[in-house]
């Protein structure tokens, strides 16, 4: 995701990558997480799609007033609360979402409508990701399930090959099946949304954590 985000930033003229955080090395333009304090003056927004262990870096940045974009899933409620407190203390602002695809966030809104229009229908969710994805079900699948109050036993996760991301919600009853689905064909859709969120944040200093739907004006 880091490379995809850098490529997406390079396409525009409104932002540039100034610092890369990497646990494995430190070189010009690259800093190890424990040394992020030395680079705080070099950037305005930090985008994180790594893992939940990066939370201390995000907390430090938020307390320093830096804006935060978080697409990392498998985070705990305690980590989310710690980051929210840091954003408030630093009078910063953040965007946190399980999925930064514009299409998927449109699907969230469509699913809410389908839920109202199809009462009593059986519902199932099937999601597929690459075999290196650590969390199952995905954060996106959990979000979809929460929209229709679906028990997680009805969420089916597949981990295989190099699948970027497939999500399908199935409604079935009365001799018919309704399917809502989203396919991520590359990481570009997530990178595009993350950069859009980063460009939205510099105007915010409200000490709040926002959803990506707010960035898109969906809610």
Question: Is cis: bond before 141, omega within 30 of 0?
Answer: no
pLDDT tens, position by position, 144-199: 999 999 999 999 999 999 999 999 999 999 999 999 999 999 999 999 999 999 99
Residue 32 has pLDDT above 70, yes or no: yes
| Catalytic residue from among 133, 154, 204, 208 | 133
Which CATH number is 171's domain given? 3.30.360.10
pLDDT tens, position by position, 91-134: 999 999 999 999 999 999 999 999 999 999 999 999 999 999 98
Residues 24 and 45 in one domain: yes
Active site residue 129: yes
Active site residue 91: no
Residues 166 and 144 in one domain: yes
Strand pairing category for 176-184 and 165-173: antiparallel
Which range marks the domain in which residue 169 is found? 102-184
SS3 category, 130: coil
pTM: predicted TM-score of the whole model, two decimal places: 0.89
SS3 category, 86: helix
Distance between CA atoms of residues 81 and 119, nearest Å: 34
| Catalytic residue from among 129, 142, 143, 210 | 129
């Amino acid at each position: 995701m880091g490379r995809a985000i850098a490529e997406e930033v390079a396409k525009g003229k409104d932002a540039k990558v100034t610092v890369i955080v990497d646990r494995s090395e430190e070189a010009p333009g690259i800093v190890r997480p424990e040394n992020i304090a030395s680079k705080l003056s070099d950037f305005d927004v930090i985008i994180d799609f790594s893992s939940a262990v990066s939370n201390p870096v995000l907390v430090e940045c938020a307390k320093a007033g830096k804006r935060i974009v978080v697409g990392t899933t498998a985070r705990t409620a305690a980590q989310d609360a710690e980051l929210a407190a840091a954003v408030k203390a630093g009078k910063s602002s953040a965007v946190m979402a399980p999925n930064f695809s514009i299409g998927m966030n449109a699907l969230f809104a469509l699913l809410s409508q389908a839920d109202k229009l199809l009462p009593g229908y059986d519902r199932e969710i099937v999601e597929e990701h690459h075999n290196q994805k650590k969390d199952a079900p995905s954060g996106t699948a959990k979000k979809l399930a929460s929209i229709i109050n679906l028990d997680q036993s009805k969420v089916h996760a597949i981990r295989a090959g190099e699948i970027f991301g497939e999500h399908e919600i199935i409604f079935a009853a009365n001799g018919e099946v309704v399917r809502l689905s989203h396919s991520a064909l590359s990481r570009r859709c997530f990178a595009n949304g993350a950069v859009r969120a980063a460009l939205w944040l510099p105007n915010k200093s409200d000490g709040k954590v926002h959803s990506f739907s707010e960035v898109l004006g969906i809610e």
